[in-house]
Amino acid sequence: MNENKLKELKRGSAAIRMETLRMMRKKGYGHLGGAMSIVELLSVLYNEVLRYDPQNPSWDGRDYVVLSKGHSGPALYAALALHGFFDTEWLGTLNDGGTRLPSHPDRLKTPGVDATTGSLGQGTSVAAGLGMALRIEEKDQKVYLIVGDGELNEGQCWEAFQFLAHHKLHEVIVIIDHNKRQLDGKLTEIMNPFDLNKKMESFGFHVISADGQKEESIYDALQQAGGVKDSAVCILLETEKAQGVPYYVDREDNHAPKFDEAANRELDALIEELRMQVEDGGK
Ligand SMILES: Cc1ncc(C[n+]2csc(CCOP(=O)(O)OP(=O)(O)O)c2C)c(N)n1
Ligand SMILES: [Mg+2]
């Protein structure tokens, strides 16, 4: 990847992170940890990979995004607004009465949202259905399914994965956000997923590992995944919960914190730093 493209992607990540934190800062709380761990992924997807038309969100030729870990909705909204699906003004209405941006995505409310999610596990089946429809219609579009590592506790994920593997449904690119934490602690302490790489492989998936904090690594993994035609495909995205927000990275309560005064000070400083990065054209 050339330097300019990388710079653009990093700038995109800074913008999504800034807008997401602004939304949560305004609200006073939010699912910060899991929103932050998909920021770089969303930047690469919306800047470089996805086919979409913001003027016509339901365009028949689009790629689909299913954010199965729906609690990370605000990061998706930031990406959609920054890429022209709706006015960035909307972002200030997150989760307010009558908003078109509920905390968890609703495909009937928000332009660019392809699946209603929030009840963990369900998006995996929706993505499998979309993938099968593309297969039947012989379309070359893709479904990008973003699933949480804690979400994998849901049995429904494994039914959907078995279906994808059986049908070699490479139309669906499964992306696991492996941030090693779920709602109130580490995966290994709550429900050990064991070795996710081996587990997905044994389920019949072609598994690609990527550094979810590095746009170039994500881009390469997505390119590679797009070329897989003989099996189901999964990207194991190595991330950190609350990545990019040092104040929250190592904190137990980084899933959905309520912000106190100290947190607000940190967030304000970080938002300002990100604003400068966006204006300077990236790190
Ligand atoms: C079916 C269901 N059970 C429980 C919840 C509550 N819940 C919301 S987020 C979450 C933790 C999810 O962990 P993970 O998938 O690892 O998300 P991330 O770390 O990316 O935030 C839980 C249990 C839910 N939304 N849906
Ligand atoms: Mg997690």
Domain assignments of the chain as residue spans, ordered by start: 3-280
CA pair distance 147, 115, nearest whole angstrom? 13
Strand 64-67's sheet: what is its strand order? 64-67, 143-148, 172-178, 232-238, 205-211
- Residue 6 alpha carbon to ligand 2 centre in Å: 26
Residue 105: which of 135, 132, 85, 133 has the closest Cα? 85
Report CA(2)–ligand 2 centroid distance (Å).
31
Please answer whether residues 18 and 279 qualify as being in contact, where contact means their C-beta atoms are separated by less than 8 angstroms. no
Sign of CA dihedral 211, 157, 100, 259: negative
Residue from 20, 176, 182 to probe ligand 1 pocket by mutation (most atoms less than 8 Å from CB): 182
The token duo for 175 is: 């992306």
Query: pLDDT tens per residue, the chain (283 residues)?
Result: 899 999 999 999 999 999 999 999 999 999 999 999 999 999 999 999 999 999 999 999 999 999 999 999 999 999 999 999 999 999 999 999 999 999 999 999 999 999 999 999 999 999 999 999 999 999 999 999 999 999 999 999 999 999 999 999 999 999 999 999 999 999 999 999 999 999 999 999 999 999 999 999 999 999 999 999 999 999 999 999 999 999 999 899 999 999 999 999 999 999 999 999 999 865 5
For residue 183, report the distance from its CA to the centre of ligand 2, in Å: 8
Q: Assess whether the C-beta atom of 22 lies below 6 angstroms from ligand 1.
A: no
Measured distance CA(177)–CA(47) in Å, rounded:
19
For residue 74, the model assigns a pLDDT of 98
pLDDT at 1: 87
pTM (predicted TM-score):
0.98
Q: 232: Cβ–Cβ under 8 A, 6 or more apart, which residues?
A: 161, 164, 165, 167, 168, 169, 170, 172, 174, 203, 204, 205, 206
With the C-alpha atoms ordered 251, 116, 221, 201, is the resulting torsion angle positive or negative?
A: positive
Please say whether the beta carbons of 29 and 256 come within 8 A. Answer: yes
Q: How far apart are CA 113 and CA 230, in angstroms?
A: 29
Considering every ligand atom, which ligand is closest to the CA of 67?
A: 1
The CB of 119 under 6 Å from ligand 1? The reply is yes
pLDDT of residue 281: 66
* CATH H superfamily, domain 3-280: Thiamin diphosphate (ThDP)-binding fold, Pyr/PP domains (3.40.50.970)
Beta bridge partners of 176: 147, 236
Which DSSP category does 29 fall into? B
Instruction: Determine if ligand 1 sits within 6 Å of the CB of residue 193.
Output: no
- Rounded to the nearest angstrom, the distance between the alpha carbon of 15 and the centre of ligand 1 is 25
**Which token pair is 83?**
């890429």
Please count the other Cβ atoms lying within 10 Å of the Cβ belonging to residue 160. Answer: 27
Which amino acid, residue 74? P
Residue of 38, 76, 151 with the most ligand 1 atoms within 8 Å of its CB, for mutation: 151
Which pLDDT score is estimated for 283? 53
Q: What is the pLDDT of residue 280?
A: 85
Tokens standing for residue 263: 């947190």
Q: Which of 71, 174, 190 to mutate to test the pocket of ligand 1 (most atoms within 8 A of CB)?
A: 71
Cβ neighbours for 129, distance < 8 A, ≥ 6 positions apart: none
Task: Return the H-helix or E-strand segment holding 145.
Answer: strand 143-148
What pLDDT score does 239 carry?
A: 98
User: What pLDDT sits at residue 276?
Assistant: 97
Q: Is 178 in the pocket of ligand 1 (CB under 6 A)?
A: no
Nearest CA to ligand 1 atom 19: 182
Confirm or reject: Cβ of 212 under 6 Å from ligand 1: no
CB of residue 83 inside a 6 A radius of ligand 1: no
